[in-house]
Amino acid sequence: MEERIYTKKKLGFLMLFVVIVLFGLSLAGIIISGEHVSSADDAGLPAAVTDVVLLAGGICLLLVSIILCMGFKLINPNEAAVLTLFGKYQGTLKDAGFYYVNPFCSIFNPAAGTKLRQSDDIGGKEKMLAGSGNQSNTSESKKISLKMMTLNNNKQKINDCLGNPIEIGIAVIWKVVDTAKAVFEVDNYKEFLSLQCDAALREIVRIYPYDVAQNVDTTGDGVADEGSLRGSSEIVAGRIKEEIQKRVSSAGLEIVEARITYLAYAPEIAAAMLQRQQASAIVDARKLIVDGAVGMVQMALDSLSENKIVDLDDERKAAMVSNLLVVLCGNHDAQPIVNSGSLY
């Protein structure tokens, strides 16, 4: 289904004037005929044929005016209305303005009553009524918003490439670019987008580990890399955006941006993974401390030897190195012992 933009003139104000005139004429005809009939009844005379015709004409004009009122369509900026006439697609109103169309045309939007966790979809009183399932079926609610909207899907539990369960949530900024595809190609484009976001998220997350892991290829080139959900969030978000766009192009939707809003290990393994991270951090810290202590001991020995402060044999050097490493690598402050005797 190809989108057809309604390009006819915006005759809203002209037809509004015509409808007002018709309303006035119909009311005038009804009032005048009513006065003549009442005066004839008072005089005991039969109503004239012209009065009956005038009354019937006034009623017909009133009905025609009411039917013509159904053709007025007001389009605000960044809104669109898909028009159908007895089941046939007529075109889409996209430009802001006051239109007049065939009064039997109706605005078609099967997703009008769908409420998602997204911006520009629930507001004011509708937000309070959304939980009870109340839906508005007015033509105003059936218009399609062309604004950029943010869909914040619920958090999902997904296994990463190592099989670790994680919880992840994304926010997707999207908009409708083809109204005909949005309402005719899929049953409900909002629900379709939400489901495709969940599927694309699972497709991409299973490629990456939560944190950097060895021998994991996340790019598909056959070479292990350091990609991860936690460390490569920008790259992961870009791939999620591309995957969603590939899935929703047939529905006339454009994905502007996708961002990871929540990322954590699943509760059942969060404590174990925290201990693992703490252990890894402790090992790295100890390694740094030992490397620094060895350098400081080497510097102390070299300084003592160069300045000829004291001449130590191998046994005394070993004892000194042991004592310095204990002092430098210990978790508690050292308690010095003063030797007031001889060196040996």
Which band of pLDDT confidence, cut at 50, 70 and 90, is reported for residue 46? low
- Single residue among 265, 290, 307 that ends a domain in this structure: 265
Per residue in 50-85, pLDDT (tens digit) is: 767 777 888 898 899 999 999 999 999 999 999 999
Q: Please tell me the pTM assigned to this model.
A: 0.70
Is residue 125 included in any domain, yes or no? no
Is residue 112 included in any domain, yes or no? no
pLDDT for 282 equals 79
- Say yes or no: 58 and 165 in one domain: no
- Residue entry with tokens 């996209």: 94
Pull the structure tokens for residue 330.
């210990």
Q: Is the pLDDT of residue 30 over 50?
A: yes
- Single residue among 265, 297, 320 that ends a domain in this structure: 265
- Say yes or no: 255 and 287 in one domain: no
* Residue range 92-102: mean pLDDT, rounded: 91
- Say yes or no: 299 and 245 in one domain: no
- Say yes or no: 169 and 236 in one domain: yes
Is residue 128 included in any domain, yes or no? no
| CB-CB contact of 100 with 68 (8 Å) | no
- Say yes or no: 168 and 232 in one domain: yes
- Say yes or no: 165 and 244 in one domain: yes
Count of the separate structural domains present in the chain: 3
- Residue entry with tokens 């059942």: 268
Residues near 165 by beta carbon (within 8 Å), at least 6 away in sequence:
157, 158, 159, 265, 266, 268, 269
Min mean pLDDT across 145-154, 259-268, 275-284 is at: 275-284
- Amino acid letter, residue 341: G
Please give the residue that has the higher pLDDT: either 269 or 71.
71
Pull the structure tokens for residue 72.
């007025």
Is residue 49 included in any domain, yes or no? yes
Domain that holds residue 285: 276-329
* Residue range 275-304: mean pLDDT, rounded: 80
Is residue 235 included in any domain, yes or no? yes
Per residue in 105-118, pLDDT (tens digit) is: 999 999 888 877 65
| CB-CB contact of 168 with 155 (8 Å) | yes
- Say yes or no: 260 and 303 in one domain: no
Going from the C-alpha of 159 to that of each of 28, 164, 167, 225, the distances in angstroms are: 75, 5, 9, 19
| pLDDT, mean over the chain | 81
Q: Is the pLDDT of residue 139 over 60?
A: no
Is residue 321 included in any domain, yes or no? yes
- Say yes or no: 215 and 286 in one domain: no
- Say yes or no: 224 and 197 in one domain: yes
- Say yes or no: 154 and 255 in one domain: yes
pLDDT for 126 equals 41
Is residue 3 included in any domain, yes or no? no
Q: Is the pLDDT of residue 123 over 50?
A: no
pLDDT for 49 equals 63
Is residue 61 included in any domain, yes or no? yes
- Say yes or no: 225 and 291 in one domain: no
* Residue range 160-172: mean pLDDT, rounded: 90
- Single residue among 265, 291, 310 that ends a domain in this structure: 265
- Say yes or no: 306 and 195 in one domain: no
SS3 (DSSP) at 332: coil
